[in-house]
Chain A
Amino acid sequence: MIVAVASGKGGTGKTTVAASLAAKWPGPLVAVDLDVEEPNLHLFLKPKLSGIETVTLEVPDVDEEKCTYCRKCAELCQFKAISVMGRAILTFPEMCHGCGGCMAVCPEGAIGVTTRELGVVERGVARGFIPCLTGRLRIGEAMSPPLMRHVRAAMVREAAPIEADIVIDAPPGVSCPAMSAVTDSDVIVLVTEPTPFGFYDFSLAVEAFTPLGKPMAVVVNRAGLGDGRVYEYCRERGLPIVTEIPYRRDIAEHYSRGLVLAELDGAMGERFAALCRALKQRAEEGVHA
């Protein structure tokens, strides 16, 4: 099964929950960081790095000898990545989405392929037995979805032979990257905090993810802080709150030292072991629903 940990608002505790699930998961697991802009899961699981793969996107490389400046490529391109001005053709590789349209439409076969580096996928093993994958966007690269697609393909290859479950640390927000991080999952864990910002972004996330028809489970972090609207909302929507993490300074300090919350003490360990079981059950309910 695949568990995606998402949130809407950033900084609510996605990585804390994902790392704790990885630490307490019963059975084989692959831990995947799909927050490629700011990946943090490795800071807590501390995997031993075993490989780095550079991921690139195919972008056009024009052979001006063959180009007749017919403009068909520029007319097709929706991203202003290729343009013809008189008898000059210019490409803007950083704008290119890599759709391959210009290459396919060119009647002269004048457009070949070069590449733009999107970032890397780091592979490692945490605690001697948890394979970890981290997508890391190159600084200055604007587009995260193509790198994320690559990481998602890699995680399936990693998990299949060992029949492992997968925990995904998703990016914040509810736009395209966050959606694509949860589309493969069997259950979505929504981490929120009972503050006005936490609640508002949580409601956006629920709206965004509900049409996917996947079972969802809620973790309320920093419980005791703020107001009670998130509880009311979950009751009204029938969203189960599966765990609460209290608002305590010792928890914040534990996190600030790069330690895994599930390993704070025995009680916290049991709380996350129970969360793992609850999520397995939620995912199964989803299958039978």
Chain B
Amino acid sequence: MREIVVISGKGGTGKTSITAAFAHLAENKVICDLDVDAPDLHLLLDPHVVRREDFHSGHEAVIDPERCSGCGTCLGMCRFGAVLEDDGRYRIDPLRCEGCKVCVAFCPEGAIDFPSRHCGTRSVSDTRFGPMVHAQLFPGQENSGRLVSELKKEARKLAGEMGRDLILCDGSPGIGCPVISSLSQANLAVIVTEPTPSGLHDLERVASLCEHFRIKVAVIVNKHDLNPDHTAAIEELCRARGYVLAGRLPHDTVVTEAMVARKAVTELEDEHFGRRVRDAWTVIQGLLNAN
């Protein structure tokens, strides 16, 4: 079984539009949206939910005002600034609480409860391109990477049961915990970038992260005609670091037209952009088979 993760470092370079096109082109796969914070792939794939479950991760501290004696031990020990004091009354800011349990363990009155945290939902769905695993965190929850790991596990299980040999994942922006989790056990990271200072800067960082975890990198330059100098700089970086340049896609409103039509860009009649995405997919397939 192979796993591809589409990432970008910088947001808005076209990860999800390109993942949707690959989902259209790829055979015998399970699709997985690992951007659990701001997922968008479902907007193009229109999933029919087969199974939806609550997702719980970690705990949160809650002070019971009835039992609290106002001693302030929790305030003194919390390293996250999550204990708020107002006129001798204490409460926990759930946005700041990291669920470390220190206040719970050291409260002399045992006045702090520690319920599990309901962080979001996860789903297994059917789409016109095959099975899809996806999730949505509730706003403000910690994107710990735990949900990302669970989704990947679910996708692998599903692929095993259904005899599918590819897991195609849409990742999240950035280089932190969710991205690190999404890279675990991946065979290939496809990095979608754009020829701008931010695109180049963020590509360098996220590609270094992939190297750190010894994940093979392929790069797609989206909107390549926007700035030929930066496109050349990206290609130079790829050559110097041994990343495969999987494709160059033009700056084209057809991507948004497909989005508005709720379709993958390769499902439209347009062959200018679509053909180049198909070419990129052929390169990526070659890389997977060569592994």
* Contact present for B100 and A9 (CB under 8 Å): no
Q: Mark B178-199, 1 if CB is under 8 A from A, else 0.
A: 0110000000000000111110
* Contact present for A179 and B102 (CB under 8 Å): no
* Contact present for A180 and B253 (CB under 8 Å): no
Q: Mark A156-193, 1 if CB is under 8 A from B, else 0.
A: 00000000000000011111111110010000000000
- Report the interface size for chain B: residues with CB under 8 A from the other chain: 63
Contact (A101, B101) CB under 8 Å given A9-B11, A9-B40, A10-B12: yes
Q: Which size class do A's interface residues fall under? A: 35 or more
* Contact present for A176 and B140 (CB under 8 Å): yes
* Contact present for B143 and A175 (CB under 8 Å): yes
* Contact present for B209 and A10 (CB under 8 Å): no
Q: Which of A43, A172, A201, A249 contacts B201 (CB 8 A)?
A: A43
Interface residues in A25-78 by Cβ distance below 8 A to B read: 37-38, 40, 43-44, 76, 78
* Contact present for A195 and B101 (CB under 8 Å): no
Residues of A within 8 A of B59 (CB): 78
A4 to B100, CA, bound (A): 28
Q: Smallest distance from the beta carbon of A141 to chain B beta carbons, Å?
A: 7
Q: Which of B58, B100, B177, B226 contacts A253 (CB 8 A)?
A: B226
Selected interface stretch from B22-30, B77-85, B152-160, B267-275: B77-85
Report if A208 contacts B (CB, 8 A): yes
What is A's interface to B at a CB cutoff of 8 Å?
8-12, 15, 37-38, 40, 43-44, 76, 78-79, 97-101, 104-105, 137, 139-145, 149, 171-180, 183, 195-197, 200-201, 204-205, 207-208, 225-227, 249, 252-253, 255-258
Contact (A196, B38) CB under 8 Å given A38-B205, A142-B145, A176-B141: no
Residues of A within 8 A of B130 (CB): none
Contact (A78, B176) CB under 8 Å given A9-B38, A175-B141: no
What is B's interface to A at a CB cutoff of 8 Å?
8-13, 16, 37-38, 40, 43, 58-59, 77, 79-81, 95-96, 98-102, 105-106, 137, 139-143, 145, 172-177, 179-180, 194-198, 201-202, 205-206, 208-209, 212, 223, 226-227, 230, 251, 253, 256, 259-260, 262
* Contact present for B38 and A40 (CB under 8 Å): no
* Contact present for B175 and A137 (CB under 8 Å): yes
Q: Which of B12, B79, B99 contacts A98 (CB 8 A)?
A: B79
Residues of A within 8 A of B253 (CB): 225
- In this complex, the member of A140, A149, A175, A179 whose beta carbon has the largest number of chain B beta carbons within 10 angstroms is A175
Q: Smallest distance from the beta carbon of B203 to chain A beta carbons, Å?
A: 10
